[in-house]
Structure 1
Amino acid sequence: MIQRMLSAAILGGMFASLPTAALATQAEDLGIDCKKAISTPDVTLCINDAYEAADKQLNAAYHSAMASIDKGDRSLEVRKDWRKALVEAQRRWIAYRDAECELTGFQWYGGTGRSGAVLDCARVLTEARTKALKQHANP
């Protein structure tokens, strides 16, 4: 019962924000309906698919932010320093995401939901970072 409630809470919030096209995933290929998934392996696969979709959006936002640096009349030196700062910020953010989600996993230590919890943490933080990068792309 708890697993079913957790699955519904995680998956309900997760898929509400994704475009329908993003749902063509490994789970779908295996015939798993992520809106109804209740087994730990199915839920984990659905969460992984959602994380992968979020990661693709993050990469697109990062490239867009990088491309925006060359727009406008900024000097070559400013653009170089800005690129370097963005690369460093992204590297540090990845380290933060990984450490934070590893920490989240300890709440589930020894439980079958640990992998899903870690992946969902990564998804949530990735979506937030994507939003932030989109703001950097439109200074």
Structure 2
Amino acid sequence: MKIWLRKGRALFWSIPYGIASLHALLAIFATTSVSAQSPSFPLAQQINCDRPQGDAQVRTCIRLKYEASDRQLNEVYQQLMFQLSGEERSLLSEAQLGWIKLRDKTCEFEVYKNRGGTGYGGFLNECLDRMTKQRTGQLEKYLNGFNSL
């Protein structure tokens, strides 16, 4: 595949091998884009979240913190669901879906005035993290209540 840039004109692609080459190129770009956003990407692993350097690292650390809280919530939720009967599972599932909507809308409202700003994503993730940890605590109480019976 050849990529040509002509002076004075927009970038265009010369694809001598047909549309299959275009699909391969798009797959490479898509994979690169996803890899760059993945927490397991080497750059994300190099960030010291105890001492982040700059706004971008601070925002990344806030996002990683929220993602860890969300994983913990899901683990506790699954443990609790395992201990419940069919009707209880259904009730908890409905409650959890309602809670997710409440959390998301509450956080959107909380950070609404920051929309469009560079800190918006960080503020949103901080709110999501805080509320997710609170919900995890609630579910842990239910789980511990069932374990003590």
* Residue of structure 2 aligned with 1:50, choices 54, 65, 88: 65
Unaligned runs of 5+ in 1: 1-23, 70-78
Which of 16, 37, 47 lines up with 2:52 in the alignment?
37
Q: Distance in 2 between matches of 1:129 and 1:40?
A: 28
Gaps of 5+ in 2: 1-38
| Per-residue CA distance 1:55-106 (angstroms, 9 max, x = gap) | 110000001111122xxxxxxxxx2221111000100000011101111221
Aligned counterparts, 1:10-89, within 5 A: 28-29=44-45, 31-69=46-84, 79-89=85-95
Instruction: Kindly indicate whether the alpha-carbon contact (under 8 Å) linking 1:47 and 1:120 is maintained by their aligned counterparts in 2.
Output: yes
In 1: Cα distance, 2:67 partner to 2:117 partner: 23
TM-score w.r.t. the length of structure 1 is 0.69
Q: How many residues align?
A: 106
Structure 1 segments of 4+ aligned residues over 4 angstroms from their partners? 24-28
d(CA) in 1 for partners of 2:80, 2:61 = 29
SS of residue matched to 1:138: helix
Name the residue aligned to 1:128.
134
Partner residue in 2 for 1:17: none
Q: Between the two proteins, what is the percent identity of the paired residues? A: 34
From 94, 104, 110, the counterpart of 1:104: 110
Q: Give me the CA root mean square deviation.
A: 1.8
Larger Rg: 2
1:86 partner letter: L
Give the Cα–Cα distance (whole angstroms) in 1 for the partners of residues 61 and 105 of structure 2.
22
* More off after superposition, 106-115 vs 52-61: 106-115
Separation (CA, whole Å) in 2 of partners of 1:61 and 1:67? 10
Q: Normalising by structure 2, report the TM-score.
A: 0.65
Higher relative contact order, structure no. (Cα contacts within 8 Å, ≥ 6 residues apart): 1
Between structures 1 and 2, the one with greater strand share:
2
Match of 1:118 in 2: 124
- Between the aligned partners of 1:103 and 1:110, the Cα distance in structure 2 is 14
